[in-house]
Amino acid sequence: MVSINLLILLCGLLCISCNADSNSLCKSNRPELDLQSVIDSLIQQQRKLCTYQCLTNEEKNSVKALKNQVENVTNLLFHPPLIYNNKKYVISKFPYQSSDEAMTYCTAFGGYLAEVNDNKEYTALQNFVLNTPAVDIVLIAGSDAIAEGTWRFQRTGGPVPILDWIPGQPDNLGEEDCLNLWKNYGGKMNDLPCGFRSSEDRFMCELPK
Ligand SMILES: [Ca+2]
Ligand SMILES: [Ca+2]
């Protein structure tokens, strides 16, 4: 921060000397520096640094308290998390009324319904479901509501790259357009209704670590 201040001061002095003598080296053939914008950008950077470094102890304690509160609420609503690949995955301790409602919960915690992007992540999430007690069916991201049989992530619209169905699934029984991992079947995939199905069903969020 001290060095930024020094640089700002030097820039300021250079500006003054340029204005005082128009024939000085400032008016040479060298391309002109837009000193004002350099200064503006330095001041802006200094402000950014300040948003963290210039907090008072009282403010830092408020931030800490708020983080603790979020953690306490998270622990109330979700089973202990899985940390994988710089992400945090959590399974709800309560059912969902719809996949939209589940997504709203995930969004409220800064994330989204867990999206399986590759085989390693799939294996990690399967094991997470298998190792989490009192959980059987767990909703994750993926829907074929728009075109039956074409599975896409609700958030991005991108295709679900890994589809590893339980034998006999997807059966679209009644109308099943949402994706879940089923512990009873090794944590493999099944289609199930996007609305409320059972008070035993849970959902999984993918959150920033
Ligand atoms: Ca379907
Ligand atoms: Ca099914």
Residue among 90, 112, 93, 122 nearest 187 (CA) = 122
Task: For residue 147, report the distance from its CA to the centre of ligand 1, in Å.
Answer: 8
Q: Which ligand is nearest to the CA of 191?
A: 2
What mean pLDDT comes out for the span 13-24?
46
Task: For residue 179, report the distance from its CA to the centre of ligand 1, in Å.
Answer: 9
Task: For residue 156, report the distance from its CA to the centre of ligand 2, in Å.
Answer: 23
Task: For residue 111, report the distance from its CA to the centre of ligand 1, in Å.
Answer: 25
Angle between helix 2-20 and 35-53 (nearest 10) = 160
Task: For residue 197, report the distance from its CA to the centre of ligand 1, in Å.
Answer: 15
Distance between first and last Cα of the chain = 29
Please tell me the distance from the alpha carbon of residue 39 to that of residue 18, in angstroms, as a whole number: 15
Which residues 6+ apart lie within 8 Å of 86 measured at CB?
209
Q: Which ligand is nearest to the CA of 192?
A: 2
pLDDT category of residue 40 using cuts at 50, 70 and 90 = confident
Query: pLDDT digits over 138-197, tens only?
Result: 999 999 999 999 999 999 999 999 999 999 999 999 999 999 999 999 999 999 999 999
Neighbours of ion ligand 1 (CB under 5 A): 144, 172, 176-177
Task: For residue 176, report the distance from its CA to the centre of ligand 1, in Å.
Answer: 4
pLDDT category of residue 53 using cuts at 50, 70 and 90 = confident
Task: For residue 106, report the distance from its CA to the centre of ligand 1, in Å.
Answer: 23
pLDDT the model gives residue 2: 46
Task: For residue 173, report the distance from its CA to the centre of ligand 2, in Å.
Answer: 6
Task: For residue 198, report the distance from its CA to the centre of ligand 2, in Å.
Answer: 14
Q: Is the pLDDT of residue 114 over 80?
A: yes
Please tell me the distance from the alpha carbon of residue 183 to that of residue 97, in angstroms, as a whole number: 20
Task: For residue 192, report the distance from its CA to the centre of ligand 2, in Å.
Answer: 5
Q: State phi, psi for 141 to the nearest 5 degrees.
A: -75, 145
pLDDT category of residue 36 using cuts at 50, 70 and 90 = confident
DSSP state of 105: H
Please identify which residue in the block is written with the tokens 């001061």. Answer: 9
pLDDT the model gives residue 3: 52
Task: For residue 171, report the distance from its CA to the centre of ligand 1, in Å.
Answer: 8
Please tell me the distance from the alpha carbon of residue 189 to that of residue 137, in angstroms, as a whole number: 10
Please tell me the distance from the alpha carbon of residue 24 to that of residue 169, in angstroms, as a whole number: 80
pLDDT the model gives residue 34: 81
